[in-house]
Structure 1
Amino acid sequence: MKKTFKVSFIIFFIVFLLLALNVNANESENSDVFYKDSIKFSDENGKFLLESDLYKFIYKYGLPGIMSKRIINPVIVIAKGHDFVLSNKNIAGSVQISTYEEEKDTQEEGTATDAINETERILSLVKESTVYGEIIEDTNYYQHRGSGLIGTFLKGETVEILRDYSEIWYQVKSGDKVGWVRETALSIPEEPKTNEHRMTKEEIEFFVNHIGLSSDTHYLVWVDIDRQLTHVFLGTKGKWGLIRTMVCATGKNNSPTIRGTYKIQDRGTWFYSHRLGSGAKYWVRFSGDYLFHSIAMDINQNIIDDTLGKRASAGCVRLSLEDSKWFYDYVSQGTTVFIN
C-alpha cells in the first residue's frame, strides 16, 4: 500500500513538472511578441484612474484604440467624465482585475515622447484672445475714469485693451503701466474672424485638466473667445469631464469681454439696461457688469439681436435662449469661470 502510494505520488509530481514546463514555454514564446502591463482599478472607490502607463496608452491610441486589434484580451471601457475604467468580465459578469496588452514594438521611450508631443499639440490649439490698440496721440492715463492722474502714454504706443466703460473710457495696459484713457486717444482694430476649427471632446478635457483649473463647485466653465464657445464641465480638479458646449457671442473689440479667472455670483431671470438700450433673460454674473445671458431683447422682451458665433456683445457672454436657461438652472454660485 505504501509502495503504491509512493509510486503514484512520483508520477503525479513528474506530470506536474511537465505541465509547469509547458506553461513556461508558452509564456516565453508569447513574450517574444507581446508584453503585458496589469493595472488594478475599482469602480467603487472613486480613485483617479489615469495612472501613468494607461495615460500614455490612451493619448497615443485614443479610446477607440483600446478596442482595436492592438489589444489581445477584450476589455470593456466605461468613460465617466475624465475617468477611464478598464475591466474584464467573466461569464458570470463580475468585474475582475483589468489588463491591457500592447504590441512589443512600441517602446516606452517612444510612448513618452509621443505623449509630450501630443500635449504640445493640444496646448497649441488654444489661443489667447488679447485685444491690442494703438495710442494715436500723447494722452494722460488715470487711476479712475478722469481722476487720479498716473502718467502719459505716447503716440504710437501699443496697449492691451483690458475693459471699457460705455466705449468712452478704456482701461489699457503697456508693460507695467495700467490706467484709463479716453476713446479719442485710441485706435482699435476690427474683430478677428471666429476660429472654426473645433477641438475634440478629449482635447478640450485634456486642456482644462492640464492647466490645473479648480472650482468651489462640481462645475467649471471655460469661455473660448477664439472659437466663440462656452464649455461647461462636471467633476473636480484634474478630473473634469465636458458635459455641454454652447455657441456664444463675446464682446466686440471696442467692448471686449474681460479675460481671466472669475467666480459665478448672483443671477436673475430678466434685466434691462437703459444705458445700452437692451436687455436679456437668464443673466448670471461673473464679475461686476459682466454677465452670461440670453440673446439681446428690447424692453418688451422682443428679440432685437440674435447674433451668436462671433464677437458681437457689449462685453457680456451671450447665449441662446435655451442655453442661457440651462446655464441659469445648473451652473451654481461659486463656480470657476475661465475666459481666454
Structure 2
Amino acid sequence: MIKFKSCVLYLLVFIFFLSSTSYGQPITNAQIVTEKQTEFTGNLLRFKALSEGSNMQYKWSILKDSCVIYTKDYSESNVFEYPVTSEGTYYVGVSIKDGDGNVVTCESQKVSVVDKIKIETPIEPPKVKTAEEIDIENVQAYVNNTKNLSSQTDRLIWVDTAKNMVYIFKGKSKEWKLEKKMVCTDGKDSTPTVKGDFTVKGRAPWLTSYNGKVKAKYKVNFYGNYYFHSILFDSKGTRVVDSRLGKSLSHGCVRLSVEDAKWIYDYIPDKTAVHVS
C-alpha cells in the first residue's frame, strides 16, 4: 500500500512539473520596415525589424544588386543602418532568433540609390540641328570665313546663283548674321548675272525693259545695268506677266518677289556690298 502511494505521489509531482514548465512561443508577425524606396548616395539606409517574441536577436545582411556586401552577426538591435556610397539597388535580409532557438527570416523592399548630383544637374542630350540651322551656319561661315567679306554699311548681300537664293546679312566683317533669305531668278546661260563683288548705288520705283514691253518694281542697282527688282509686269505696270522665281532665265538682273524687292529698296542703303557667286 505504501509503495502504491509513493508511485501516485511521484506521478502527481511529474504532472505538476510538466504543467508548470513554460515553452517559448514561435516568432510571429516578422517584417522589415523600409524608410524610403529611393535614397541618395552619401546617405544612410535605415531598416527596422518588427516581430513578436521574447529575447530576440537579429542577424542582418545587406545586398546590392542581389549580391551580399555586408553581414552583421546576431545582436539585440532590431534597427540596421548602412552608409551607401555608390548607385545601385539595395535591400536587407534578417534572421530573427528568440531565446528558445526559434528562427525566422524575412527580406525588405528594394531601395534605389541614385547620385544626387546627376539628379540635380541632369545631362541634356545633344541637340540635333535642323536642316534650317545647318543652312544658316553654312551661309554665315561662307561670308565670314571662306570669303571674309566686308561692307561699308552694316548690311551685306550674297547672291548665290547656283541655288537661286539671295541672302541678306547684318553686322560687320567676320561677324555677319543672316537676317533674311529670298528666292530669286537670276540670268539665263546666254545672259548670266555678272559674278564678283559690287556695291549698291542708286534705286528707282520702276524699271522699264529696253523694248518697253515689260516693267518691274523697286529697282536697286549694284553694277552697270544689273539690278535687283521685282517679278515682271506688263508695260502699264498693272498686270503680272512673269512671276517665276527659283529659276535662271532673266537677262542678268536678279528678280525677286514684290515684297522682297521692296524690302531691299527700303532697307538696303547705298554702298552696301553685294557678292555674286
TM-score (norm 2): 0.51
Alpha-carbon offset, residue 216 of structure 1: 0.2
Alpha-carbon offset, residue 69 of structure 1: 4.5
Alpha-carbon offset, residue 206 of structure 1: 1.1
Conservation of the 8 A alpha-carbon contact between 1:234 and 1:242: yes
Corresponding residue number in structure 1 for 2:242? 305
1:209/1:268 CA distance change after superposition, 3 Å = same
**1:35-114 mapped onto 2 (5 Å cutoff):** 68-69=124-125
Q: 1:334 aligns with which of 249, 271, 274?
A: 271
Q: 1:268 aligns with which of 204, 214, 218?
A: 204
Corresponding residue number in structure 1 for 2:137? 202
Q: 1:277-315, CA deviations, whole angstroms, 9 ceiling, x for partnerless residues?
A: 322000000011100000011111121111100101110
1:289/1:246 CA distance change after superposition, 3 Å = same
**1:186-225 mapped onto 2 (5 Å cutoff):** 200-210=135-145, 211-225=147-161
Conservation of the 8 A alpha-carbon contact between 1:265 and 1:334: yes
Corresponding residue number in structure 1 for 2:39? none
Conservation of the 8 A alpha-carbon contact between 2:212 and 2:235: no
**1:2-13 mapped onto 2 (5 Å cutoff):** none
Separation of aligned partners in 2, 1:325 and 1:217: 19
Greater percentage in helix = 1
> What letter corresponds to residue 209 of structure 1 in structure 2?
N
> What letter corresponds to residue 144 of structure 2 in structure 1?
N
Corresponding residue number in structure 1 for 2:105? none
Alpha-carbon offset, residue 202 of structure 1: 1.0
Separation of aligned partners in 1, 2:203 and 2:173: 25
Q: Which runs of 5+ in 2 are unaligned?
A: 1-122
Separation of aligned partners in 2, 1:70 and 1:271: 50
Greater Rg, structure 1 or structure 2?
A: 2
1:207/1:277 CA distance change after superposition, 3 Å = same
Corresponding residue number in structure 2 for 1:249? 185
**1:104-143 mapped onto 2 (5 Å cutoff):** none
Alpha-carbon offset, residue 198 of structure 1: 10
1:213/1:68 CA distance change after superposition, 3 Å = farther
Conservation of the 8 A alpha-carbon contact between 2:201 and 2:270: yes
Q: Which runs of 5+ in 1 are unaligned?
A: 1-66, 72-196
Give percent identity, aligned residues only: 39
1:199/1:246 CA distance change after superposition, 3 Å = farther
- Please, what is the CA RMSD of the aligned residues? 2.1
TM-score (norm 1): 0.42
Aligned residues: 149
> What letter corresponds to residue 228 of structure 1 in structure 2?
N
> What letter corresponds to residue 161 of structure 2 in structure 1?
I
